[in-house]
Each structure stands twice: as structure tokens, then as C-alpha cells.
Amino acid sequence: MNQARLASIGLPLAVGVVFLALWQFLVTWLDVPRFLVPSPTVIAATLVEDWSLLWTSLLFTLKITFLAFAAAVVLGTLVAFVFVQSRLIETAFFPYAVLLQVTPIVAIAPLIIIWIKHPTAALVVCATLVALFPIISNTTLGLRSVSPGLLNLFRMNKATRTQELVRLRVPSAAPYFFGGLRISSGLALIGAVVAEFVAGTGGTSAGLAYQILQAGFQLNIPRLFAALLMITLTGVALFMGMVLLSKWALGGWHESELVQER
Amino acid sequence: MTIVEIRAADKVFANGTRALAPVDLGIGPGEFITLLGPSGCGKSTLLKMIANLLEPSSGTLRWWGGGFDHVGTEGKKLVFVFQDATLMPWASVRGNVRLPLDLAGVERAAADERVNQALALVGLSKFDAAYPRQLSGGMQMRASIARALVTDPNLLLMDEPFGALDEFTRNKLDQDLLELWQKKNLSVVFVTHSIYEAVFLSTRVVVMAARPGRVIEQVVVDEPYPRDERFRVSQKFAEYARRMQELLAHANTLGEPAH
């Protein structure tokens, strides 16, 4: 393992360890009560103790997240393709796609939960709405960002529209698409958590966000932190997953994945 | 028969720029024609009209005695080599060179065979699995030329293809291009702003000037092939070069707006 790789893993790890050590030290030294700020050791103990509860909750949240992410990718890509086929449609509908981006999900989630009877479906819809825009935006941009020289080349060779789409536009769009995936995966998780929060006030969900709410009400702060930690780690894992996917897809040729020779 | 017949073709762009004054030009089979001139003389515009990438604002172009729709059939194939290699960065050299055949639906095995031949012609046989990023500028250009040759064209249009390369690579590629031209019985229209390149390569040089873009004169380079470095340093070469130089300088002063 070369120096760069070692540094990229070792340095953040070192920061984390120092941070945890400091936290542990301060909480113990200042004698902060565990229902205010639990120490890392207390959180770890809670994780072990409440593992079965937290694990099932995690699975529930993950289910919503993945379903929403998948729906966002499929739907977003379809919309992007439609936009690219017709400038007219794009001009007409893009502002509404932007609306998706700027409307706070906290405000519409209650509506959706009332409208859609099935609780899981309602949560998935909320999370999909949050995760959708980056896919649409990035994929459309990518499909349009074709090198004019290559486009001329294809036209000169009398390529059909399908050939142009599959052999030129899709590979050209790939870097942008994977960039969108990185953003969207995290947003799917956020959307799932926020939706659960809103639904949780009705006491019908069983995900990690619900556990956080409940723990809050019961002043079980260590459990709250434990659940929070799991959500955070999930977000990081999702992002890393997308990074690996990017590397696999673009590794051979795109500037973003190349290692600089020194 | 004349391969390309250009009659009084000119180009005015949408914003009012007069890119090219009316041009009369004929390109015969087996010729190596160079369009030589400074920036803004309309040489790239003229080349793109020959490639049907641009339409003339007035005047006509005819290819093999007919319109552009029958271009592409056997014996009437035309290819364009761009100023930069224009390779697909996500595909290997083989994938790039094979593209025209893939688009035409040629069966994979037959296509790969033709790719091998094309790569051999440009000296890239060992690099078929490499990606464009891994190649030098000269090699990328060779790959681009291989792609042009893989369809067995009759007319090769080249828009300052060696402009971005260093002089050694450029001279080498000039030489290789002449060999290809003779071997494959091509007709070539080559755009450049280098007088030396024009004299070295061509059977006929079309000298152009800017402001407005126009053809000044056509100079026949009456020197036998194969041509090599000895021609480059010969007396005749220098005379041709001086002739072009004078034509271009004279046209520049004529074209200057009075202050």
C-alpha cells in the first residue's frame, strides 16, 4: 500500500481516535451526566445492549432508503432521457423539477402521509422526492455534455439516434450520472429519516429515526446517540459504496478516477 | 471525372460574418490538394462545405457528379479527420478505430480484421488495447487517421490534423501520409497554415487570404513522388515556398482596412 493510500485511511482514522479520546476524557473529567452527553464507552455499551432493537430498526430504514434510491434512479434517468429528446419538454417541465429541489420535505411529508394509506409506501415516496432532483439534473447535463467533435463524427457516419444515444450520449453522461448517484444516495437516507420523523409522531414506523424520537421522549439519551451513530455510519457507507461504483465504472478512463503520476 | 466540383460557393454566417467569398474549385481523382492560408481565410469553412458539415449560402457543390445523398456508396466514400484526434475516451484504440464499422453494422470479426489492417498502416498495431489517455498526441492522431481509413475511403478531408504536434512528429506524419495516399489511391484535401507542409505534400496548393476569406491563386507543385527530406531542402522547394510567401504577403496588404 503506497504512501497516499495509507495517508487517506490513516489520517482520518487518527483524527477520529483523537476526537473520541478527547470526548471520553472531557465527559469523565467534567462529570457530565449520561442523560446530557454520554461518553463514547457508554454509547458503545448501549449499542451492544440494544443491538436487536437497533438492528431491526436499521434494516427498516435501509429498506426505505434503498427503495427510494432505486425509484429515484429509475425515474430520474427516464425523465432525463425525455428531457434530452425534446428541448420543448425540457423547457416546459424543468422548473417543476427544480421545485422538487427547493420544497422542504418536512413541509410536504405530512400531506403525503395523509394521502397515501400504506405507511411504507408513503415513506418511500417522500424519500424518493428528496433524492430525485440530483439524478434528473446531473443526468440531463451529462446527456447534453457531448463533445461536439464526437457528435460531428457520429453524424458524418450516419449514426441513428439510438446509436448516438447508446454509444455516445450514455458514456459521455456516465461521469455526471455517477456524481449524481453520490449526492442522491445520501439524500435518500435523509429523506427516509425525515419522513420517519414526521410519520413517527403518529407512532406508525419502526425505523432508526423513530427510535431517536422515542429515545428523546424517554430521555434515553445514550440510545439516541447510538441510533444517531448508526444513521451516520449508514450515510458514510452509502457514499463509499457510490465512490467504489464510480471507480469501477470510470476507472479506466475518466480524469476523476486517475491517479496522478509524480 | 471530377470528384468534387465547387461552383461559386460562398458562406455567410447567421451573425453576418462573411466567412468565404465565392469559390470555384475542382478536385480530381488522385490529387493531393492543400488549402493554405492564415487564420480567418475560410479554409476550414471550405473544407466543412466539402464534407457537407456546412451548407453554402449560395453556389453549389457536387460530389462525384451528384448530390450528397449518394456519397457513402462504394467508390464514393468520404472521411473527415479533425484538428484534434476526437477519440472516445471511454473506448480502447481498437474500439475507437472500429467505430465507423460498428455504426454501419459490420460483423465483429470482419470489422476487427479491417481494424488490424488500419492499425498496421499507421503503425499502431501494438497499441490496440490502450486507452486514448495513455497515448501521445502523435499516436492519438494516428489512431484518428486509422479510424478514417478503416472504411476504405476514396476522399480524405483533413483539417490541420498535425497542427498540435511538434515538428519532428509532424514531418514524420507528413511522410507517412504521403505513403498512405499513394498506397491506397486516395484523393486528399488538406488544410494547413504551414507553407512548408503545403509545398511538401501537395500536387496543387490553393492559396487563400483573409478579410474577406477568398482564394487568391492555385499553384501546381510539379515535383515527382515519392518525396522525402531531400526535397524539403532543395532549391525548387525554396522557390515554391517563396512564391507562396509572396502571394500571401501581397494578399495581406491588399486586405488591410485603410486607417
Q: Does A92 reside within a domain?
A: yes
| pLDDT value of position A259 | 66
Domain boundaries, chain B: 4-77+153-255
Q: Does A114 reside within a domain?
A: yes
| pLDDT value of position B190 | 95
Q: Does A12 reside within a domain?
A: no
Mean pLDDT by 10 residues, chain A (262 residues): 79 91 90 86 90 90 94 95 89 87 86 87 92 94 91 89 92 94 93 86 71 89 92 92 90 72 62
Nearest CA in chain B to A170: B90
Q: Which residue of A145, A146, A154, A253 is the best one to mutate when testing the B interface, meaning the one whose CB has the most B CBs within 10 A? A: A253
Nearest-angstrom CA–CA distance, A156 and A150:
10
Nearest-angstrom CA–CA distance, A165 and A79:
15
Confidence of residue B259 (pLDDT cuts 50, 70, 90): very low
Q: List B26's β-bridge partners, or say none.
A: B5
Higher pLDDT, B56 or B211: B56
Q: Does A167 reside within a domain?
A: yes
Nearest-angstrom CA–CA distance, B56 and B5:
13
pLDDT of B87 strictly over 90: yes
**What is the signed CA dihedral for A143, A148, A154, A157, rounded to 10 degrees?**
160
The answer to whether B53 contacts A158, with C-beta atoms less than 8 Å apart, is: no
- CATH code assigned at A173: 1.10.3720.10
Q: pLDDT (tens digit, 9 = 90+) per residue, B123-145?
A: 899 999 999 999 998 999 999 99
Query: In chain B, what residues touch A149 (CB-CB under 8 Å)?
Result: 82, 84, 86
| pLDDT value of position A92 | 92
Q: Does A9 reside within a domain?
A: no
* Rounded average pLDDT over B187-205: 94
| pLDDT value of position B135 | 92
Instruction: Name the residue range of residue A119's domain.
Output: 51-249
pLDDT of B22 strictly over 70: yes
* Rounded average pLDDT over B101-125: 93
Distance between start and end Cα atoms, chain A:
16
Residue A73, min C-alpha distance to chain B (Å): 22
Q: pLDDT (tens digit, 9 = 90+) per residue, B24-67?
A: 999 999 999 999 998 888 899 999 999 988 899 999 999 998 88
Q: Does A3 reside within a domain?
A: no
| pLDDT value of position A63 | 92
| pLDDT value of position B254 | 63
pLDDT of B255 strictly over 70: no
Q: Which of A147, A150, A163 sits opposite B103 (nearest CB)?
A: A163
Q: Does A45 reside within a domain?
A: no
Q: Does A177 reside within a domain?
A: yes
Nearest CA in chain A to B132: A253
Q: Which of A152, A159, A258 sits opposite B53 (nearest CB)?
A: A152
Domain count, chain A: 1
What CATH number was assigned to the domain covering residues B4-77+153-255? Answer: 3.40.50.300
| pLDDT value of position A181 | 94
Q: What is the ipTM, given to two decimal places? A: 0.83
